[in-house]
Amino acid sequence: MRRVGQRIAGVVGRDIANAEWEFVVFDSEQVNAFALPGGKVGVYTGLLKLAASDDELACVMGHEIAHVTSRHGAERVSQSQLVSIGGQLGQAYMNYKGVGAEKQNQLMSLYGLGAQVGALLPYSRLHETEADTIGLRFAAAAGYDPRAAAVFWKKMAAKNSGGSTPSWLSTHPSDQSRIANLEKLAPQYLPLYENARKAQPGG
């Protein structure tokens, strides 16, 4: 995992996100990975077991690295702060108008739900799609086959076949839309992958 991550980070470069790249494996059956601002990327052993090749793992690593370079973490914090400020202003206005406590609670609950479904979740899904797109380019530029991403996500979809959250209530795109997007992107990045392979020793 560290070898794959460092190879992709070498293509991305440090300055693009002012990141000190660090790649850590966590012993857990969770099939997941995450990235933190600053360049720390964590992968659970459950995901490593599902990824059958370096190419599949690279697509996941590229995705997490893209979250860092795109500064998605900071954007989500800003969005949450805006929602919080909006709620505070709304509550202050209701207090000024003398709205009763019970009515205020109802309206604030509706506001919270509306902000979550109408703003925060769509932005989160947009970030995930953006990270898929940029991350696949990173992986291809490092010499990993971009076609492996759809292969990996088909396995993830099969693993999740027991039931899933409706897409409009999820932080991530549906497996089907994600796979379709990755299959569409892969041919665009094949030349990048092939050039990177040729440039490698023995390529």
Greater model confidence, 85 or 61: 61
Neighbours of 110 (CB within 10 A): 10
Would the pLDDT of 162 be above 50? yes
Assess contact for 175 and 138: CB atoms under 8 A.
Answer: no
pTM of the entire structure? 0.75
Residue listed under structure tokens 């925060």: 120
Q: Which of 29, 56, 64, 102 is catalytic?
A: 64
pLDDT band for 15, please (50, 70, 90 cuts): very low
Place 106 in a pLDDT band, splitting at 50, 70 and 90. confident
Of the two residues 187 and 104, the one the predictor is more confident about is: 187
Instruction: For residue 43, list its beta bridge partners.
Output: 25, 33
Is residue 64 annotated as a catalytic residue, yes or no? yes
Portion of the chain with pLDDT greater than 90, in percent? 43
Q: How far is CA 17 from its chain centroid?
A: 16
Query: For the chain, how many structural domains are there in total?
Result: 1
The lowest-confidence range among 52-61, 79-88, 128-137 is 79-88
The residue type at 168? W
Q: Look at residue 70 in the predicted model and tell me its pLDDT.
A: 86
Q: Which domain holds residue 162?
A: 2-199
